[in-house]
Structure 1
Amino acid sequence: MTRASISPLAWLDEVEQQRRTAGLRRSLRARAPAEDRLPELDLASNDYLGLSRHPHVVEGGIRALRTWGAGSTGSRLVTGNTTLHESFETALAGFVGAESALVFSSGYTANLGAVVALSGPGALVVSDALSHASLVDACRLSRARVAVTPHRDVGAVDAALGERTESRAVVVTDSVFSADGVMAPLSELHAVCRRHGALLIVDEAHGLGVRGDGGRGLVAEVGLAGAPDVIVTTTLSKALGSQGGVVLGPAAVRAHLIDAARPFIFDTGIAPAAVGSALAALEVLIDEPWRAGAVLAAAAALAEACGVTEVPPSAVVSVVLGEPEVALRAAADCLERGVRVGCFRPPTVPEGTSRLRLTARASLTADDLDDARRVLIDVLAAATA
């Protein structure tokens, strides 16, 4: 058999079988409209503040849609920038205490744009071993030398920066790590960065709306809001219930990203409807600062139901079950009983740590939590028997 007679995609069959055998095959599950499906308690989405269907947020998107149309029509440097985009940037920067903000089409592209544009050849990038995939990809694209340090190991970051020969250095980390919900030691990391003259980039995707005074994020909570050597990235698709990403920091950084960040320059601008919804969600959060505390209270209740002894510092409750098949079965059992939970398997998490990932919401009621408790206690007892 010649090479020409073999499909260039034949190798995919073997890879798929390997994934199936390992319990790592993934599939898409389409959600039907709420009115067309059986009642279901959602403990899987990242809608932390319960705002994605909030009337004010939905109306904000509708107003933007009617005013600006369905799409942004081009990159923000051509036709995709509106006064709405810039109003939102000003409002969000003011809320978190940053000098300026720049909206991207997603949190993923915001991380790519910030890390790559602020590092590059001749720089060192130091990344936590459990940084989000978008930060990992940004490191790979940066063409900088990359040092991956053990999870939350400030000493290792200090050593990496101390040994560098590069003139510039950037340290990247999540503020709240998405798989287990633990917080980065931001104060300690910043002290190390400042001692070595390094820039700190913090992804607040899971911190905004949950940590800090009124949900201003972990960077603000530890007193680093507006620091000249700290850049914050975040997404609009979690606490703000919309879609998009943003980079926050000094005005000079915003100007540099407009000139140098390829995901900003060459990507179509975020649709105005998403910006309108995000701005409306921010207005709700400002008017109702109790929502951040409500998320943490709900997370504590879910953790207790799952037998997790440590009180979660974020919206994420991680229940490690071990092998992928065990976690998959437990997630399926929960869904059969009307509770949807996340299921994280390798490569998202390390081998042997497949888990259920539950996410709390400010809008969960006492009845919701009671229903979740009954299901989780039964399912986890069977899964760990």
Structure 2
Amino acid sequence: MSELLNQRLRRRLAALQDEGLARERPRIGRRDGVRYELDGHWVTGFCSNDYLGFANHPRLRPASFVSLEAADAAGSTASRLVAGDLPAHRAAERALAALVGSADAVLFPSGFQLNVGVLPALIEPDDLVFSDALNHASLIDGLRLARSRPTILPHRSAPGASDGPSWWVTESIFSMDGDTAEPALLRDFSERGGMLYLDEAHSLGLFPKGAGFARHHAIRPAVLMGGLGKAFGLAGAFAAGSHEVCTWIRTRARSFVFSTGNAPVLAEQARIAAEMLAGPEGDERRARMWANARLLADALERPPPTSPIFPVVIGANQLAVTVSRALLERGWHVQAIRPPTVPAGSARLRITITAAHEEAQIHALVADLRTLLQHFGLSLADTRPPAEPR
């Protein structure tokens, strides 16, 4: 044990505490839909990414796979390039590729692992790279590992015309602001021959027949990152693209090559969830989620929603934590989001809506939020993100 290291970290942790940036893990216990135990008390959650409520679906619970061939082994036992490539992986990849309209797909254990592996595998030293200013940390780190020198674009703006190979790396729905990239700009860049890397972690499954943002808007990205931890209600991710793109990823993405393959049960869950997303149950749950999103937008005095994510921007770190804790005392779990997840001075509550929420819960949350904001001298209009009219 190194006492030097412990002393150093105690100083750093104390500094984070002083800045209102200390982090704690909410201790979640039993769950019942959007209701769950947190530190021994039942609360209603408004901060998960389980947008369609699939995480509690009986067909996706591990116990339902006992009789399946996919459950014959708990793990894949090796890298998929050694002895870990199993029928469940290949079946899931076919289903996921079909869902997004791509020729092929490659499973990864997490979206972060995907982005930090795929971007360095595909970007070449002389490529021009453009990255949105509010991109997720995994995209930023992937570009760093690619040793690229990205031009940081103002949020939601597009690259101009350029000579030579160029990449545009962006999210479709931005995870902390809930706004979207502009479909026409994405489509134009791709049609002009640019290589579009589109992170669909928060948008996949939210559009008719389980489509993501790209397929819904007839956009053809060179590489699509699909998340399995949001609308799918699971964990993991996949990269989708041409056979050439996916073959190269399997060959050269270090986070794929040097990692044990996804557990086969998780791969089978992904295949079944893709089937459910594309079917009638997916359509019914999407309709409920969007209806709830419209209800919440109206209650928050916001424009019509483009996603299930509603930032309530407080500004100061400690005040965001204080409001979050006050909501928790009233039975609402809405986590405070602070730097470095969001820019300095824009600490916020990130409210997410799901198909499993009830109208009464939405109205009651906003009523308590309004009361608390007024107590601290704020109004709902004061908490809109900068991109929205105030």
Q: Is the counterpart of residue 261 in structure 1 residue 265 in structure 2?
A: no
Q: Residue 209 of structure 1: which of 200, 205, 211 is its match?
A: 205
Return the offset for 1:62: 4.8
Q: Which runs of 5+ in 2 are unaligned?
A: 379-390
Q: Is the counterpart of residue 218 in structure 1 residue 210 in structure 2?
A: no
Residue correspondence of structure 1 range 85-234 to structure 2 within 5 A:
85-154=89-158, 157-158=159-160, 162=162, 167-195=164-192, 197-210=193-206, 212-224=207-219, 227=220, 229-234=221-226
Secondary structure of the 2:334 match is strand
Return the offset for 1:66: 6.8
Distance in structure 2 (CA, Å) of the matches to 1:62 and 1:175: 36
Q: Residue 10 of structure 2: which of 9, 13, 25 is its match?
A: 13
- Structure 1 residues 142, 292: closer, same or farther in 2, change over 3 A? same
- Structure 1 residues 63, 359: closer, same or farther in 2, change over 3 A? farther
Moved over 4 A (4+): 59-66
Distance in structure 1 (CA, Å) of the matches to 2:68 and 2:268: 5
Q: Residue 346 of structure 1: which of 330, 339, 351 is its match?
A: 339
Secondary structure of the 2:9 match is helix
Question: Does structure 1 conserve the Cα–Cα contact (< 8 Å) formed by 2:289 and 2:354?
Answer: yes
Question: Does structure 2 conserve the Cα–Cα contact (< 8 Å) formed by 1:103 and 1:247?
Answer: yes
Question: Does structure 1 conserve the Cα–Cα contact (< 8 Å) formed by 2:70 and 2:88?
Answer: no
Question: Does structure 1 conserve the Cα–Cα contact (< 8 Å) formed by 2:187 and 2:218?
Answer: no
Distance in structure 1 (CA, Å) of the matches to 2:263 and 2:312: 36
Return the offset for 1:357: 0.3
Q: TM-score, normalised by structure 2?
A: 0.88
Q: Which runs of 5+ in 1 are unaligned?
A: none
Which segment drifts farther, 316-325 or 365-374?
365-374
Q: Residue 382 of structure 1: which of 367, 375, 385 is its match?
A: 375
- How far does the alpha carbon of each residue in 1:153-203 deviate from its partner, in whole angstroms, 9 at most, with x for none? 12xx11xx52x6xx43211000000001000113313313543x3200000
- Structure 1 residues 253, 39: closer, same or farther in 2, change over 3 A? same
Secondary structure of the 1:258 match is helix
Question: Does structure 1 conserve the Cα–Cα contact (< 8 Å) formed by 2:131 and 2:150?
Answer: yes
Return the offset for 1:65: 8.4
- CA-atom RMSD in angstroms: 2.2
Question: Does structure 2 conserve the Cα–Cα contact (< 8 Å) formed by 1:60 and 1:277?
Answer: no
Question: Does structure 2 conserve the Cα–Cα contact (< 8 Å) formed by 1:64 and 1:272?
Answer: no
Q: TM-score, normalised by structure 1?
A: 0.89
Distance in structure 2 (CA, Å) of the matches to 1:316 and 1:11: 37
Amino acid at match of 2:186: L
Secondary structure of the 1:178 match is coil
Q: Residue 227 of structure 2: which of 228, 235, 260 is its match?
A: 235
Secondary structure of the 1:346 match is coil
Question: Does structure 2 conserve the Cα–Cα contact (< 8 Å) formed by 1:299 and 1:314?
Answer: yes
Amino acid at match of 1:304: D
Partner in structure 2 of residue 271 of structure 1:
263
Return the offset for 1:125: 1.9
* Identity, % of aligned positions: 35
Return the offset for 1:10: 3.5
Question: Does structure 1 conserve the Cα–Cα contact (< 8 Å) formed by 2:103 and 2:243?
Answer: yes
Secondary structure of the 1:71 match is coil
